[in-house]
Amino acid sequence: SAYNMYIARVKDFNDYFKLLFSFLFEVENKIDISSRDAYQSRLFGFLAERFSSYYFQTYMKPYFSDVTFYDL
C-alpha cells in the first residue's frame, strides 16, 4: 500500500471507505483538535493511513496478477 494507491473492485472499494469513514467520524466525535498545531491537526489523515494496513490485513486476501511489459 505504498503511497496509498489501490486498484480494487467497486464493491471492495465501497466496503473499505464505508468502514474507514465510519471509524473516522466516530473518532472525530471523541477528539477535539482545535488546540492542535497544523501538523497535529492531520490526525485523521494519519489514522486513515494506518487504518489501510489494518483493513487489508484483516479483511482482504491478497491477489497478484502477472504483468507483461512489451518493448514499444
Q: pLDDT digit of tens for each residue in the chain (72 aa)?
A: 556 677 788 998 999 999 999 999 999 999 999 999 999 999 999 999 899 888 888 988 777 777 777 765
Torsion of CA 6, 15, 55, 63, to 10 degrees: -50
The pLDDT of residue 72:
59
- The pLDDT of residue 5 is 74
Place of cell 480494487: 8
| pLDDT, position 47 | 93
pTM of the model: 0.71
